[in-house]
Amino acid sequence: MLRVGVVGTGMIGQDHIRRMTTVLAGVEVAAVTDVDAETAKRVAEGLPGAVVHGTGEELIADPGVDAVVVCSWGPTHEQYVLASIAAGKPVFCEKPLATTEGACRRIVEAEVAHGSRLVQVGYMRRYDEAYRALKAVVDSGRIGAPLMMHCAHRNASVPAHYEKEMAITDTAVHEIDMVRWMFGEEITATRVLVPRRSRNGGALQDPLILVLETASGAIVDVEISVNIRYGYDIRGEVVGEEGTAALGELTPVTLRASRQLVSPIPADWRERFRRAYDVELQEWVDSIAGGGRPVGPSAWDGYAAAVVSDASVAALRGGSRVEVTLMPRPDLYADAA
């Protein structure tokens, strides 16, 4: 049984604890911590035998913790991932790996110095049935060479602590990672278009459109809306030389009544990606059980997404096209996307 310690017991921390304790096999939650000690204590009440630690560092050092799941705010990820690597413990870090290129680079360098993979990043779209089916079509060649992709990432609302640039660093990073994986190549340049502001977005610049260029010359547009009100809506359509392929509508039932066609829309990411998170974490547990290495999205993937994210923030601030340059990829990540 893999004994996991969870750092950060907010929304996704609690959701991952629920799945590790009631859905997945071969894993138990042995320890939790949160800067909000009351939240950690309350969450631990539902976890018989789990220890509540005062800090993430104490949790990581606990000999009763075999592996770490980091679910705290993005800017705090670096310290916990670096501490896990220093302790030689596998660490699943929710996205983004860290919020800046520099922080991700330090993580990559620490893992390379360690000499084997310990880090996996929570880019769960790679585990989603619809995204996997879309990639299978693209890889099959059935629509010819991919030329463009149109994406929309719409949140009904976002928490009060969500700041302007998080539309890129916390939300669009999902598409940034997905595009690298879907197209099997790096993103080489980015621009950000700024439409008229939604009155639902308060001080946020909402919506935004990212325009990403890939190494082969494909162009991907990504609409980011974070106060769309009507639900959580994730879209993607790849345009190829011979056809197009799009993420399917995921609803299990559509209702025709009263002269209307009705199908439900997920409330948020927990509902839309429920199964993807299950598969992602079960595969992570299975990969590291018995001393194995993680095989999912790596620190390199987290680094590459952060470089594009930083470039997009610069493009948003400066209003121009920004080129993306990655450092040479270390051999440790030779099989990365």
Residues that bind ligand NAD (CB under 6 A): 7-13, 33-36, 39, 56, 71-74, 76, 94-95, 122, 124, 170, 269, 273
171: partner contacted, choices ligand NAD, ligand ISE, none (Cβ within 5-8 A by kind): ligand ISE
136 binds, among ligand ISE, ligand NAD, none (CB under 5 to 8 A by kind): none
Which of ligand ISE, ligand NAD, none is residue 155 near (CB under 5 to 8 Å by kind)? Answer: ligand ISE
Question: For strand 244-246 and strand 255-257, is the pairing parallel, antiparallel, or unpaired?
Answer: unpaired
- 302, 308, 314, 318: CA torsion to nearest 10: -160
Q: Please select the residue that binds ligand ISE; options are 171, 190, 282, 298, rule is CB under 6 A.
A: 171
Count of residues interacting with ligand ISE (CB under 6 A)? 6
Other CB atoms within 10 A of residue 256 CB: 9
Q: Give the separation between CA 173 and CA 308, rounded to whole angstroms.
A: 8
> What is the smallest separation between the CB atom of 332 and ligand NAD, expressed in angstroms?
24
Alpha helices by DSSP H, listed for 11-100, are: 11-22, 37-44, 56-61, 77-87
Q: At closest approach, how far in Å is the CB of 206 from ligand ISE?
A: 11
For residue 14, state whether it binds ligand ISE (rule: CB under 6 A).
Answer: no
Q: Which two tokens stand for residue 149?
A: 């992709």
Q: Beta-carbon neighbour count of residue 291 at 10 Å?
A: 7
Cis peptide before 96 (omega within 30 of 0): yes
At closest approach, how far in Å is the CB of 170 from ligand NAD? Answer: 5
CA neighbor of 125 nearest in space, from 135, 111, 113: 135
Check residue 63 and report its DSSP letter: T
155 binds ligand ISE (CB under 6 A): yes
String marking each residue 260-299 x if it binds ligand ISE according to CB under 6 A: ---------x------------------------------
* Under rule CB under 6 A, residue 84 binds ligand ISE: no
Chain contacts with ligand ISE (rule: CB under 6 A): 155, 158, 170-171, 174, 269
